[in-house]
Every structure is written in C-alpha cells, then in structure tokens.
Amino acid sequence: MTKPAEVNTAAAGRVSSEAHSMTELLEIQRAAFLRDGIPDAKTRIDRITRLSSLLLDNSEEIAAALEADFGSRPRELSMATDIVGCMIDLTHQRRHAEKWMKEVNVAKGQGLAGFKQRLRHDPLGVVGIMGPWNFPLNLTFVPAGSAFAAGNRVLMRPSSVTARTTDVIAKHAPDYFPIEELAVITSKHGSGSDFAKLKVDHMFFTGSPEVGSSVAQEAAKNLVPVTLELGGKNPAVVDPDADIDKAAKFLADARMVNGGQVCLCPDYVFVPEAKLGEFTDKVIARWKEKFPTIRSNSEYTSTINEKNFTRIVGLIEDAEQLGATKHQVIPAGESLPDAEARKIPPTLLTGVKAGMKIEEDEVFGPVLTVYPYRELSEAISHISSHPHPLTMYWSGDDNANYKKLIDGTRSGSVNANDFATHLFSLELPFGGVGKSGMGAYHGRTGFETFSHARAVTVSTLPVSIAEMMSPPFTNRDKKMTNGQLKMWARFNRKAIKKNKKR
C-alpha cells in the first residue's frame, strides 16, 4: 500500500489498538497529551491529512466491506457518502485549523484602561467518538477530524453492526497513527455501553435517541460532556402553490437514500388535501421508474439486519391492520418484502392515524407516510406536538408560508426543495434539538465543540477589585454601590421607553 508522499507517517506505529484494553488506551492517550502539550498547527494538519489518507488509500476495500455488511449497497453510494463525503469537512478543517486556534485579543479598548482580555481555544484532551451503522465512517471520521483540528487525541468506536467495515479500519489505522493519537475500538474491547463509561474529556455519539439517552446517563456519572447526534421523524410540507411533480420526485428520492436508512430522510409529508391523490400517484410513479427490479438489484440498499427488517415490516403491517392504506412498488415476478435479501419495497402509507405505531416510531426504512391538510396551521400543529426532528423539509418558494412553518416549529435544520443541502455548507452547523440531539459540529462549529473557550486576563488597573469586594466595606464603597444602582436604573428606564416606541 503506497502512501502519498506529502503524508508524514513517521509517527505511525504498528501497534494495534487490540493489544490494549479501552481503559489502557485512554490512559496512554491522556499521558501522551500531558507529555506533549498543546499541538501546533503543523501537527494538527498532519493528523487530519493522515485521517484522510486512511480513507482514500483503502477506499475500495472499505466499499467492499460496506457492501458485505449491508448485504446490498452500491459502491457509488459508499464512495459518495463514507469516503468523498468526509473530504469536504476534513479539508475545511485542515485549511482553517491554524487560524481558528490562534489566541484572540478581545475588548481592546479596555486594555488601554489597564484590563487586558484574551480568548484561547484549548484542546480538551481525549475525545471518545461513537459511530452508527448507517454511515459508519462518515459519522466517525468527520467528528474525528474536528477533534484533531482542535488539538485532541481520539478514541474511535465505529459501529459493531457494520463489523467488517470496522475491522478494515482497525486493521489499517496503525499504518497511519500510533495509538497515542488515534485508537480504533472494536467489539473485542467491549460493548458500546462499556465505551460510554470511559472518563474521556468529551463523548460524541451518533445514533438513536434511546441509545443516546443511555450514553448521556453513563457520561453524566463521570461528568463527561456529550454531543448527541440523534434522529427522529423528519416532516416535510408541500406548499399549496408548489409544483407537485417536483415535490413528489424530490421527496420520493430523498426517502430512498441508503434504503431510507438516514437520520435526515423525510419520514412523513403534509400535502394540500386537493392534491393528495396527484402527489401519491407521482411518488409511486417515481419509484416505479427508479426501481424496475428490487430483489436482485445491487443498487437497492438492503435493510441492515434481520432485527430492523422485522421492525419495519411490523410497522407497515400494524398501520394496515388499523386502517391505513398501503401503496407498494413491487416489480412483476418479485415477492416482497424478502427476508433473505432483507429488502422491503418502497412503501407509501395514507390514512395513518394516532394509535398506529408508525405514527410515533422513526421508520428508518423505505416507507413514507402522507397526510392531507387544508390549512398550514394543521401541519404546524402536528409537527409541534411531536418531539423536535433533526431536520424538516419544505417544497415550494421561499415565501410567507415557509417563514410561518419555520417560526411555528423547532428542528435541527430546515431544507427547502432538496435533500439535506445544509450538509454541503462549510458555514452551517449540523445538529439536532430536543430529542433529536444536543450540540453540533461541521466546519468551525466542530472545532469549537471539541475545544474549550478559555478566558485569559491581565489586570493593571489602578484599583483592586479584590479589595473592593472584601470586608470591611467603607462609606466610599456604599456610595459607589448606590451610585451604580442609580445609574443602571436610569439605563433600564430608558430601555423600557425605547422598546415601547418600536
């Protein structure tokens, strides 16, 4: 395996992470962090470059492992999401790490009066990263790049569900990193629950809200701060004046990314009542066009495992038994769902009501629920009465209705007329709110997530604050306090008057 000439791998060793326990790896990294101190820009950039090389040099082997883990997953999807998809943010981190890490002078005017203030962004130490199975590398390597940009060491635990992919990374990681910098944790070290118990300096988790809650509880026992990137039932709303053909195509396509196994896929759609039938017909037509075959189609991503296959099929059956109408795209001569291939046909449900499991549970599969609405307020009320989603979709113009929807709901992000476009911005944060997550990353936000904003001051003031705030308090101190109270009361009265005139 040939390494790019510009990558410095001299520091990389051949010691496998599996030679040590998780606790030992944490101790090794923490000792190295304390020994070496805060890394300079060159070191940080080199680590991000080696992280990129680990993916790029082994991309074909990784794609093959992902296909084996899923049973059916197109190479192009794996390359686009778990390899190329990482490079956007990793490259951005590499280009800007030196600028972001610089100490900044703030409130310079006060420095002239004898009070200097500086702001540092210091690394936390050792960061633990727990990844999910749907994009097992993108959702571990991108936060790892942010952690390296911020100057940290990384304990990375890709999902054990995609075990073959994790094994490829664990096998090759020592060619690029000594375990003091990056250690890959596998199921051989212990469970994800065991990993969550580590006393790292920050725990980053991507996965379901249920598991995220458990991770947060374990981390809280050690007062370890957490970033939780979770999921939820992402809603979509079609504007009354929207082009129904465009809306149906984009939402039908978005639902089927990675077989619907994406935390950002639309889960349910609100469509103007008068256009419900047209929208439903066009979604089904789009799926028929895109999937003339399914059972033997290598580009149709399988459901990851039997457990999830059974769960998704159960959600469809429960809804149908309770009165929902099922619309499925099943090519001629095929019998679907197919448990052996773990393939579920694209499914659209109408007539879904409260009491059906799919009304509350995130599907995470190729199923789209469609509701009619007469007034936009009905859609807003439904969305707001459920846990805040990771994202929300709108099909239509950037108009007053769009603003009304945004103002009346809460979500991690909002995307109009296309799938997850906020992911492709280097300036926007990625993260949820409420049940869909805690904290954010990507771009500078990721750097700040894995840094500590550290205040540094120097006082050459002619008076001593310590003396003024400690007994005994003199008449001068009382006059000064009373004078300040009167001054701030005046300011507050002026603010009240000014606000009334707005």
The reported pTM is 0.93
Output the six-digit token pair for 223. Answer: 């007062």
Strand partners, 153: 126
Query: What pLDDT does residue 3 have?
Result: 40
Residue 395: pLDDT over 70: yes
10 Å Cβ neighbour count for 92? 21
Asked if 126 contacts 155 with a C-beta cutoff of 8 angstroms, the reply is: yes
Q: Is the peptide bond before 472 cis (omega within 30 degrees of 0)?
A: yes
- 23/17 Cα distance (integer angstroms): 11
Q: Give catalytic status of residue 265 as yes or no.
A: no
Residue length of the chain: 502
Mean pLDDT (the chain, rounded): 94
The tally of CA atoms less than 13 A away on the side-chain side of residue 267 is 26
Range name among 34-43, 290-299, 405-414, 474-483 with the lowest pLDDT average: 474-483
Mean pLDDT of all residues in 38-46 = 97
Mean pLDDT of all residues in 388-412 = 98
Query: What pLDDT does residue 466 have?
Result: 87
Asked if 372 contacts 271 with a C-beta cutoff of 8 angstroms, the reply is: yes
Catalytic-role residue among 181, 229, 359, 362: 229
Catalytic-role residue among 218, 263, 265, 359: 263
pLDDT band at 465 (very low <50, low <70, confident <90, very high): confident
Mean pLDDT of all residues in 420-435 = 93
Residue 8: pLDDT over 50: no
**pLDDT tens digit sequence for 313-326:** 999 999 999 999 99
**pLDDT tens digit sequence for 96-111:** 999 999 999 987 767 6
Output the six-digit token pair for 467. Answer: 């003396």
Q: Give catalytic status of residue 229 as yes or no.
A: yes
Residue 6: pLDDT over 70: no
Query: What pLDDT does residue 463 have?
Result: 83
Asked if 63 contacts 411 with a C-beta cutoff of 8 angstroms, the reply is: no
Tell how far CA 310 is from the center of its chain. Answer: 26
Range name among 120-129, 396-405, 489-498 with the lowest pLDDT average: 489-498
Tell how far CA 157 is from the center of its chain. Answer: 16
Long-range contacts of 206-212 (CB under 8 A, 24+ apart): 206/130, 206/131, 206/132, 206/139, 206/140, 206/143, 206/230, 206/263, 207/130, 207/132, 207/231, 208/362, 209/387, 209/435, 209/436, 212/437
Query: What pLDDT does residue 111 have?
Result: 64
- 448/92 Cα distance (integer angstroms): 14
